[in-house]
Each structure stands twice: as structure tokens, then as C-alpha cells.
Amino acid sequence: MREFFTALANKTSRAVGSHWAFIIAVLIVLIWGLTGPMFHFSDTWQLVINTGTTIITFLMVFLIQNTQNRDAKAMHLKLDELIASLKAAHNEMIDIEELSDERLEEIAEFYRKKKEEYPDDTVTAIASDVAEQAHDTAHRVAGDTAREVAHHTARGVAGDTAKPTVKDHKENKRRVIRALR
């Protein structure tokens, strides 16, 4: 049932959002208005348009809400993906729409304070936070890289040192064997 409603909501939303739907609605109103004199502008004549528009509006509210909910959820998921993929982004912003209004206000206040630090440039305010995180990340990566380079260098030196030692040992062994013969 859910899949059927989703498919119906998608198709209806696309159809009703088209220019053709608007043209048809205008034509219906024009035809209704032109038939007024034929029906002597009776209560029944007015009731037809009122009832028709009320029913259509009532049903469209649910279809439009369904479409907007899915669109909003898809947009949030796309934004969550972007946040998760950026190293300098605040991952705690993922699923932020699920937080309470009080928590959302606290986060908004944090960014207002950031902006106050740089009143003339909002981009700099946000970029300063990103720069701090990038700086921390660079130090962490540099430390990891330095350890890795030291490890590889030590292994290389140990290997280079061991090769002549093994070679010398084999040569000495051959000399001893020759001397014993």
C-alpha cells in the first residue's frame, strides 16, 4: 500500500505541477464562470465549484505533504553524505534535523558567536573553524607520516646493515672451509 501511495504521490505531484495542469484549472474556472448565466448563478452552480475545489484541495494536501517529506529526507541524506565525506566538516551535524528545538537553538547560537568574532565576513568566521580543524588534522597526519618515514628508514638502515654482515659472515665461512681442506 505504501509503495502504491508513494508512486501515486510522485505521479500526481509531477502532473499537478505542470503547466498543463494550470491551463486545465484555468479552463475549468472559465467554463464554470461562463455557465453562470445558464444556471442563473444559483446556489447549486456555486456549490459545484466550491465542493470540487474543496475535495481537490483536501486530497492534494496529503499528496503534496508526502512528496515534500520524501524530498526533505532525500535532501538531508545528501547533505549528510557531504558532511560525512568532508574531513573538516562537523560530523555531529549529520541528522541534525532530529534534534530538539532547544538543541538546534544552541547550535545556531554557536554559529552566531562565530560570526560575531568576524562581524564583517561570515565566510571568514566559518573558515576560521575549518582552518583550526585543518591545522589539527595536518599535525596529526604529519605526526603519522613522520612515524611512518622513521619506521621505513629504520628498516632500510637495518636491512642495509644486515646485508654486508651476512655477506661477510658467508665469506668468512668459505675461508674457514677452504682452510680446513
Tens digits of residue pLDDT in 1-27? 888 888 888 888 888 889 999 999 999
Tens digits of residue pLDDT in 162-172? 555 555 556 66
Banded pLDDT at 131 (limits 50, 70, 90):
low
DSSP state of 42: -
For the stretch 89-100, what's the b/e string if a residue is b when 16 or more beta carbons lie within 10 angstroms of its beta carbon? eeeeebeeeeee
Position 39 pLDDT exceeds 90: yes
Q: Grid coordinates in use for 24?
A: 486545465
**pTM, rounded to two decimals:** 0.49
Q: Grid coordinates in use for 180?
A: 680446513
Q: Grid coordinates in use for 46?
A: 456555486
